[in-house]
Structure 1
Amino acid sequence: MNKDDNNKDEFNIDDHKNTDHKDDPDHYEEICYLCRRPESKAGKMIHIPNQICICPDCLQKTFDTINKGDNPYMQMMGFSPNMMNIPNLQNEIPKAQKLKKKPKENTDNKVFDRKSVPAPHILKAMLDEYIIGQERAKKAISVAVYNHYKRISTGAHPDVEIEKSNMLMIGPTGSGKTYLVKTLAKLMNVPLAITDATSLTEAGYIGDDVESVISKLLQAAGNDVEKAEHGIVFIDEIDKIAKKRNTNSRDVSGESVQQGLLKLLEGSDIEVPVGATSKNAMVPLATVNTSNILFICGGAFPDLDRIIKARLNKQTMIGFKAEVKDKDEDDSNILQQVNLDDLREYGMIPEFLGRLPIMFTLEGLSQDMLIKVLLEPKNAILKQYKKLLEMDEVDLQFAPDALEAIAEKAMEKKTGARALRAILEDIMLDIMYEIPKDDNIGKVVITKEYIEGKGVPYIEMRGVGNQKMLAMNN
């Protein structure tokens, strides 16, 4: 082989230079040095020395400031409007112009067409593939989402103004509140912003303002305002902004945050920073209307069951027929009996609850439901592990009593479905470490004894009959 032939296959650095098009004006926009707006927003830039670009608006404001003559810095330098004859220059300076918005294609409108929105029974059937149980919650959220997007669709009736169907989800930890909203947004193909209410504070204090919720939605929509105005916002841990009791300090993360969220839930024009979570002089602002944004609030509301039990026990009979033990003491789904009075006593203000007309609860997961969570969902965690081992051509199986042992351990942790992942990660650690060592392993069986720490998993070697099972060394 010739030397020239070898050089043909070599990587030529010169051929790949300038591939990022940094100097090509067709790929990069110029940005105003003062207002930081791009050329597509501010108009054609005016170039001044030192490679500085200024938009017509900022240049006009600069000349107006000089023309007034009340600038203390100009007076200190000895300049005056008469000396510079600035009024004669006003006719030559171009007026600030507003760029006309480009008409968008009809593809965005088709997404929210009334006929393209799935019916409630179809939406619930799609949720059933991912979420176990929670029939009441899935039915309520399917109807609310269908009515909301039917309200903002192109076929909405102009004579009757339909109110927003914001929702409040109440359920114990690990019952699937966040997962339900994530699955819903994926099925609807709309931008979703998930935020935590614990970081929200009153404006002017350390923390996130309520407008940061819309800023995250705008970021999820790719800074497309029109797309963000049809999105979904899920505010988790909403119970953490309840009114604080017996406190002498200012409640900057409780009732004041609820009052700040009122304008978002009701619908108003909010100025949010683009590409950042806080407003400053170097970040451009965009106006987002929240009238068509669906808000879903969720929280575990710890100790709310005590308030519900206290209300229910007020009706207990007094005398010889009185019950010694509370009949709802062992009820794991007592949150389903919640009402607005209980939430007001918990610390939620009436104005906030009034803007969340749809309220439903999620059930606590039982042992049988946890076993179904392991097996039945479309992306169940056991299916994920089986796929991982299938890549190594190994068949992973769980004995039925092993699944029961995993569910029992998860019930003891009292963290719902979140405990399943932690338990399986601990169980599968040694297996995922040992399997790639031997290419002759063809099958792995997880038993109850291994889950309880009393035994080891069994493996079956390739080409060996099913009768011969070997214990895998830890």
Structure 2
Amino acid sequence: MEQPLLPVDIDAFLARRVLGQPDLLRRISVSLYKHIHGLPAPNVLLIGNSGTGKTTLMRAVTDFYDAHQELARFRVMVIINANTLAAEIEGEDRTTRLFRKLEAQAKVLFGSALSAKELTDYLENATVCVDEVDKISGRVSGKPNVEGITTQYALLTLLEGEKFLYRAKVVEDGRETEAELALDTGRLLFVCGGAFEELYDHVYACLVNRRDDRRLKEVSEVERKADGSVSVRTVTKFTLRSYLRLADLFAYGMMPQFISRFGSIAMLDDLGREELLQIFLNAPNSPLRLCMDYFRHMGIALRLTKEAAMAVAEAAAKNSRIGARALREIFNGLIAPHEFDPYHSPLLQQTDVGPALVLDVQTVTEYLTRMD
């Protein structure tokens, strides 16, 4: 008999697709375990800079459902941008719009000839991922944002687990008909994420201007120099994780009722050099992998020295506000001059197994110097 999936198994699956963020993956794994076992599952709010893995995580959850046949009834899942949900469409409320997307996904996955009972089951066990949820803040540039407030209220109805009457096309006795489905929205799982960029500035200003009782803490760092000597210095570090309070989210423009419906608020860490290096070398959609495929079509191998790859990752790590996206910006800029006519590139070398474009650390360093 096959052993049931445990949170540690879900975590192991997700960790192969989302590098870093161990705290986040544990929280999401517990929520997914509860969701697939019919237990009250805490909705998850993700807060992190662009490029730290929020969208990657959402896609990894889709892969998780798809990889396990026994979880087929949970595969209905949409990733929707909050701006799309906030847009006002005449004659269609936001909740109905969301269920329209879920219904369409259910029929793509399981066919259009679904009975009312089947469609209800798929919709009630769906996962809803709302990206850029910070864009539905109730306040923009200090002014009320009516669309944001309205969208938060629409989502709140679902987050609170209320019954929702939804009219859909179903098949009964071989005939297509319309039916009103009484959906229990309390069984939906919500994963919402956003950069909340102004939140960083708000919390930092509260600390340095002493607007409340929070104070920046000093920590000691040990520095080992090239000559073998060691020095200790005191530095002041700011991370949002260390100082964030719920009141800061309210000040940002998120309604207390809305935030309180998330059982787990997960802070995503900025990706460091090592995590970025692993993404650069191993992620299926990394700019390096995509570029290797491009040159392979031309019969050319693309090679990077270890030092060159490290230099790209180190440069990306300095752009903490865009995280893994910095890898794409840096590498695409670096390789662009060689993509049009690689056979006349100064980086082209003839090897025993054919032509190869070889990027070394000097090439990367020279490019980065020009960009500074």
TM normalised by structure 1 equals 0.58
Q: Deviations over 1:71-111 (max 9, x none)?
A: xxxxxxxxxxxxxxxxxxxxxxxxxxxxxxxxxxxxxxxxx
1:163 to 36, 40, 51: 40
The corresponding residue for 1:217 is 102
The corresponding residue for 2:325 is 418
| Structure 1 residues 394 and 208: CA distance shift in structure 2, 3 A | farther
Comparing both structures, which one devotes a greater share of its residues to strand?
Answer: 2
2:63 is matched by which residue type in structure 1? K
Q: Deviations over 1:207-231 (max 9, x none)?
A: 9724322221221222652323322
The corresponding residue for 1:149 is 36
The corresponding residue for 2:300 is 394
- When structure 1 is superposed on structure 2, of 133-142 and 305-314 the one drifting more is 305-314
| Structure 1 residues 273 and 448: CA distance shift in structure 2, 3 A | farther
Mapped contact 1:370–1:417 kept (Cα < 8 A): yes
The corresponding residue for 1:451 is 364
Identity over aligned residues, as a percent? 26
| Structure 1 residues 429 and 310: CA distance shift in structure 2, 3 A | closer
TM normalised by structure 2 equals 0.72
Greater relative CO (CA pairs within 8 A, separation 6+): 2
Matched, 1:339 2:245: yes
RMSD: 3.6
Matched, 1:315 2:213: yes
* Secondary structure, counterpart of 1:200 in structure 2: helix
Runs of 5+ in structure 2 lacking a partner?
A: 67-74, 171-176, 219-233
2:291 to 381, 385, 388: 385
Deviation at 1:284, TM superposition (A): 6.2
Comparing both structures, which one devotes a greater share of its residues to helix?
Answer: 2
| Structure 1 residues 119 and 409: CA distance shift in structure 2, 3 A | same
| Structure 1 residues 446 and 345: CA distance shift in structure 2, 3 A | same
Structure 1 residues 403-442: aligned runs within 5 Å: 403-411=309-317, 413=319, 414-435=321-342, 441-442=354-355
1:290 and 1:220 map into 2 onto residues whose CA distance is 17
Q: How many matched pairs?
A: 314
- When structure 1 is superposed on structure 2, of 169-178 and 339-348 the one drifting more is 339-348
| Structure 1 residues 395 and 205: CA distance shift in structure 2, 3 A | same
- When structure 1 is superposed on structure 2, of 236-245 and 349-358 the one drifting more is 236-245
| Structure 1 residues 452 and 293: CA distance shift in structure 2, 3 A | same
The corresponding residue for 1:131 is 18
Mapped contact 1:392–1:436 kept (Cα < 8 A): no
1:186 is matched by which residue type in structure 2? D
Deviation at 1:387, TM superposition (A): 4.1
Q: Deviations over 1:101-160 (max 9, x none)?
A: xxxxxxxxxxxxxx7763111111112222211111111111111111112xxxxxxxxx
* Secondary structure, counterpart of 2:49 in structure 1: coil
1:244 to 129, 139, 144: 139
2:6 is matched by which residue type in structure 1? A
1:435 and 1:234 map into 2 onto residues whose CA distance is 41
* Secondary structure, counterpart of 1:131 in structure 2: coil
Structure 1 residues 211-360: aligned runs within 5 Å: 211-222=96-107, 225=119, 226-244=121-139, 251-267=145-161, 268-271=163-166, 287=181, 288-309=183-204, 313=210, 314-315=212-213, 330-331=237-238, 333-360=239-266
